[in-house]
Amino acid sequence: MLDHAKSVGGFIVNVVYNRPTESPFATITVRVPSNKLDQVLAYYRSLAIKVTNENLVGTDVTEQYVNINSRLATLNKTKAIFDELLGKTESIDQILRVQREIINLQTQIDSLIGQQKALEENAAFARLTINLSTDKLSLPYTPGIINSGRM
């Protein structure tokens, strides 16, 4: 059961088994490639007598991604100007100041590239949390309303 997420290129986030030897039920959270979500849902649903709860989480990161691209373009242009300036500076003090600025800009660029990669990974994987019941005794019990014929 736990290897299924890995077999489709995903990974397990969390698994909780309740009463594994008597009336078992489980809560499983996995991250799977978005294009495999239907397959994974069908697999986990097939394991249970009843799926008592499903929670699918996906996030639209388009705006963040576009914002990062804009910031990267600006930082790269600014860094190019400082790189050019570095070749023209003559005093040690000026060279050190320009180098510090280049290092600062490169640090910001590297950080944004890391954020961009994290957004790409987040968009590529859906998070699924599913509560499975493999025994009728472990299903939540809700008493039915008895119709006594009274109004």
pLDDT in tens, the chain (151 residues): 668 888 898 888 888 877 656 666 778 888 888 888 889 888 888 877 777 777 777 777 888 989 999 999 999 999 999 999 998 988 999 999 999 999 999 999 999 999 999 888 878 888 888 887 766 655 555 545 444 444 4
Domain assignment present for residue 35? The answer is yes
* Distance (Å, whole) CA 118 – CA 85: 33
134 occurs within a structural domain: yes
Strands (E), 3-147: 11-18, 25-33, 50-57, 125-133
pLDDT on residue 107:
97
- Determine what percent of the chain falls in helix, strand and coil, rounding each to the nearest 5: 55, 25, 25
Q: Does residue 70 sit in the same domain as residue 116?
A: yes
pLDDT given at position 151 = 44
CATH at 14: 3.30.70
Tokens of 28: 């499983």
| Structural domain span for residue 10 | 3-59+123-138
Q: What is the pLDDT of residue 141?
A: 52
Query: 70 and 55 share a domain?
Result: no
Listed in sequence order, the residues at least 6 apart from 83 whose beta carbon sits closer than 8 Å to its beta carbon are 102
- pLDDT computed for residue 150 by the predictor: 47
Are residues 128 and 55 part of one domain?
yes
* Domain presence at residue 102: yes
> Which phi and psi (to 5°) does residue 49 adopt?
-70, -40
Number of domains, the chain: 2
> 107 and 77, same structural domain?
yes
Q: Same domain, yes or no, for 28 and 71?
A: no
Q: CA torsion sign, 113 to 119 to 35 to 33?
A: positive
pTM over 0.95, yes/no: no
* Contact by Cβ (8 Å): 47, 66: no
Q: List the strands of the sheet with 125-133, edge to edge.
A: 11-18, 25-33, 125-133, 50-57
